Amino acid sequence: MAEISPKILIPESFQLSSGDIAEQIGLIWKLIKAPLIVPLLNLGVYVCLAMSLMLFVERVYMGIVIILIKLFWKKPEKRYKFEPIQDDEELGGSNFPVVLVQIPMFNEREVYKISIGAACGLSWPSDRLVIQVLDDSTDPVIKQMVEQECRTWASKGINIVYQIRETRGGYKAGALKEGLKRSYVKNCEYVVIFDADFRPEPDFLRRSIPFLVHNPDIGLVQARWRFVNADECLLTRMQEMSLDYHFKVEQEVGSATYAFFGFNGTAGIWRIAAINEAGGWKDRTTVEDMDLAVRASLRGWKFVYLGGLQVKSELPSTFKAFRFQQHRWSCGPANLFRKMVWEIATNKKVKFWKKVYVIYSFFFVRKVIAHMVTFLFYCVVLPLTILIPEVEVPVWGAVYIPSIITILNSVGTPRSIHLLFYWILFENVMSLHRTKGTLIGLLEAGRVNEWVVTEKLGDTLKKQEAAKKANVKAPRKFCSRFKFADRLNILELGFAAFLFLCGCYDFVHGKNNYFVYLFLQAITFFITGIGYVGTII
């Protein structure tokens, strides 16, 4: 049987040259543009404008409340009963409660000495303090080093225990939960948690424990983070601006108005009874700290935030570590929101307005809307409206509202006001990863339970501090310490190309001059795409 030519199987209308194919694509585009593409993009604009207004109202509300707090609210020492615990030679340390200090660790070669030394230096009677080093390290050399450090402090009379597990199940939550099961913990009333890079001042417990001692309805006292490497590079400066707003505004407002805020996972003191009543540590999400805080709040426990009590800590100084951290911080809350929204809504112990605050403000606006509107509006929808001029974005939505939101977000770090514009561009880039993490959390997709421990570089920090003391200027360097191939981020490079093309189109055919923003945003995506995020400034 003779072979049948493939040509006779293809309709004659589809046997086209390359020029004809381009014409056909153009014709198809014209046919679907008006009835399909334009309405969908218009819908996207309306949805983004609605989310922008929600975020705008939230930021204005937070701004008004924080001003009222600064002007009229009493400080925590005045709002709650607070009396310093006095040393008594006759009673010894018996008038001090027994406090457990937990330090969870995982291969912390660079910072284990810093955190253990700071915990052992706390000003508290030695017989009323138990330090528990929860080491989940997989590197036997590091485990041996940490254990030896604990033995060294134990030989000096410090009550310190080196604790390991056979498996790393539950990650940090599993380690903390396992630590509370030990028999010697039964005598402890409170537990303070410090991540491996945190260095509390000696008076930390004396300034925080009295709130718990004299106020039986308080379950948590949270201190503020202070970043010792904020000036290391542009990347850390950007992080400082974002986190300062969280600590100076969001935590303050939550504490002063609803006595609720998310536990930051470290530099906080829990009443152990509150942990037990809330059901203990759970590892169902990657934000075990927020999970515990929400459950404890639903059972009536109050929280106090002490903005004046600061604990030194370290910011991620590599873009790779920062990306992993941001994935966990965006995916975890979204997943917790999915799991707990109905439980919060039907809870009978919490007042209606507190439930509205937790569901709408704390979770929906800050943990979902804030990430998604930044990425969808400024990196997707707005650039697409340039390619499709039939769809317009009102100036108030594209310029005025975002500008006010940005100004309100930046009030926490006035020293970095000159970096404001670059911070906006960088936040837009990070919104890509935060949106992806949020969607993964809401949908419980593949990486929902991914936990990557944030890399810490404590030895670098010590060298910088030594240089400052010696009045020697530290050498300029890049935060990222990887080979060029390891720095490449394809997703960012793809968006850089997309925004650059949109900018070129707007430069030639546009009328709103958005190309200035698009080119700058494309450059920022490109810089992060090749891994060179921040040099020393």
Condensed to tens digits (0 to 9), the pLDDT of residues 352-373 reads 999 999 999 999 999 999 999 9
Nearest 10 degrees: CA dihedral of 518, 519, 521, 525? 130
Q: Which member of 197, 244, 283, 289 is catalytic?
A: 289
* pLDDT at residue 519, rounded to an integer: 96
From edge to edge, which strands make up the β-sheet containing 302-313?
160-164, 129-135, 99-105, 190-193, 268-271, 218-227, 302-313
Report the range of poorest mean pLDDT among 10-24, 29-43, 68-82, 368-382.
Answer: 10-24
Spatial CA neighbour of 251 closest among 240, 241, 242, 262:
262
Q: Which member of 135, 136, 195, 291 is catalytic?
A: 136
Instruction: Work out the pLDDT band at 458, boundaries 50, 70, 90.
Output: low
Interval 95-115: pLDDT, tens: 899 999 999 999 988 889 999
* pLDDT at residue 32, rounded to an integer: 82
Report the range of poorest mean pLDDT among 6-15, 50-59, 202-211, 497-506.
Answer: 6-15
* pLDDT at residue 462, rounded to an integer: 52
Instruction: Work out the pLDDT band at 222, boundaries 50, 70, 90.
Output: very high
- Note if 291 is an active site residue: no
| Type and span of the H or E element at 207 | helix 204-214
Report the range of poorest mean pLDDT among 176-185, 255-264, 463-472.
Answer: 463-472
pLDDT at 477 over 70: no
* pLDDT at residue 6, rounded to an integer: 45
Instruction: Work out the pLDDT band at 4, boundaries 50, 70, 90.
Output: very low
Q: State pTM to two decimals.
A: 0.87
Q: Using the 8-state DSSP alphabet, how is residue 10 labeled? A: S
Mean pLDDT score of the chain: 87
Main-chain dihedrals φ then ψ at residue 183, nearest 5 degrees: -60, -35
User: Greater confidence, 438 or 485?
Assistant: 438
- Note if 135 is an active site residue: no
* pLDDT at residue 379, rounded to an integer: 95
pLDDT at 14 over 50: no
According to DSSP H, which parts of 73-139 are helical?
A: 76-79, 112-120
pLDDT at 3 over 60: no
The pLDDT > 90 percentage for the chain reads 66
* pLDDT at residue 309, rounded to an integer: 96
* pLDDT at residue 537, rounded to an integer: 45
Nearest 10 degrees: CA dihedral of 487, 491, 492, 497? 120
How would you classify the pairing of strands 302-313 and 99-105? unpaired
Cβ atoms within 10 Å, residue 275:
22
Cβ atoms within 10 Å, residue 11:
7
Helix (H, G, I), strand (E, B) or coil at 84: coil
CA 278 from chain centre, in angstroms, equals 23
Report the range of poorest mean pLDDT among 12-16, 57-61, 310-314, 394-398.
Answer: 12-16
| Integer angstrom CA distances of residue 459 from 110, 142, 382 | 6, 15, 44
